[in-house]
Amino acid sequence: MSLSLAEENYLKAIYHLSEDGTKDVLTNALADSLSTKAASVTDMIKKLSVKNLISYKKYYGVNVTAKGKRQALQVIRKHRLWETFLVQKLDFAWDEVHEIAEQLEHIESPRLIEKLDKFLGYPTVDPHGDPIPNGKGKIVIKPQIPLDQIEEGYKGAIVAVKDSDSAFLKYLEKIGAKPGKKIQVISKEAYDESMEVIVGNQKVFISKEVSKNILVTE
């Protein structure tokens, strides 16, 4: 019983907008997120509801069921594995891969995903640092703290970045800051909370604007 492309996209959007199933999602929010109209959302919501993938109470928003969550996580797993492939193997920049992965995530072949996962060395995070659900749909999240809450003398590594704005990603690229890289905090300015850090082996100054969007290990 496999899902259509549209069904997968709705399910994924609901899962994300509900913040991993914790909040209910409103019709208009979903319409905005999917660049469609509220009427279309209502139609699709009814279908997913009949299939027991989401729970829906008229006028009060929707959320994924356990079954829907499983399916959403499979799509997310595929999306993030493909993004990892595009960046690591095909040499795409982080900010170019989203649209392509958006297409690739709908390819149906469990064997393909298994083999891709193996080929990539069973990665646990994608190029943005977002966790990749495993084959059973489990997400293993390492604790991650925004860099702006870190004190002088810290040593650790970047695990993820929050903002996915292209200009921001390009800036990070330039200073060599990407998930997996080691990072040290040399000094922190009390006045504006700007920091001097070592990332890779380069010393750089970063503003609070930037540091709050970089997530690091404990």
Select from 26, 145, 186, 198 the one that contacts DNA (CB under 7 A).
26
Read off the tokens for 123: 């990665």
Contact partner, 104, from DNA, a second copy, none, Cβ < 5-8 Å per class: a second copy
Closer of 19 and 99 to a second copy (Cβ): 99
**Binding-site partner at residue 116 among a second copy, DNA, none, CB < 5 to 8 Å by type:** a second copy
The residues near 134 (Cβ < 8 Å, ≥ 6 apart) are 77, 140
* Least distance between DNA and beta carbon 9 (Å): 7
* Among DNA, a second copy, none, residue 38 binds (CB under 5-8 Å by kind): DNA
Q: Which of 51, 103, 43, 96 is nearest to 75 (CA)?
A: 103
- Which candidate, 11, 113, 130, places its Cα nearest to that of 66? 11
Question: Between residues 59 and 191, which has the closer beta carbon with respect to DNA?
Answer: 59
Region near DNA per CB under 7 A, out of 2-10, 91-99, 152-160, 163-171? 2-10
DSSP strand E in the chain: where? 54-56, 62-64, 145-146, 155-161, 182-188, 195-199, 202-206, 214-216
Alpha helices in 122-206 (DSSP H): 166-175
Out of 37, 67, 115, 138, the only residue in the binding site for DNA (CB under 7 A) is 37
Both tokens of residue 93? 């920049």
Residue 5 or residue 50: which is nearer to a second copy going by CB? 5
For DNA, which is the closer residue by CB, 27 or 213?
27
Residue 164, classed as helix, strand or coil, is coil
Residues that bind DNA (CB under 7 A): 4-7, 26-29, 34, 36-47, 56, 58-59, 61
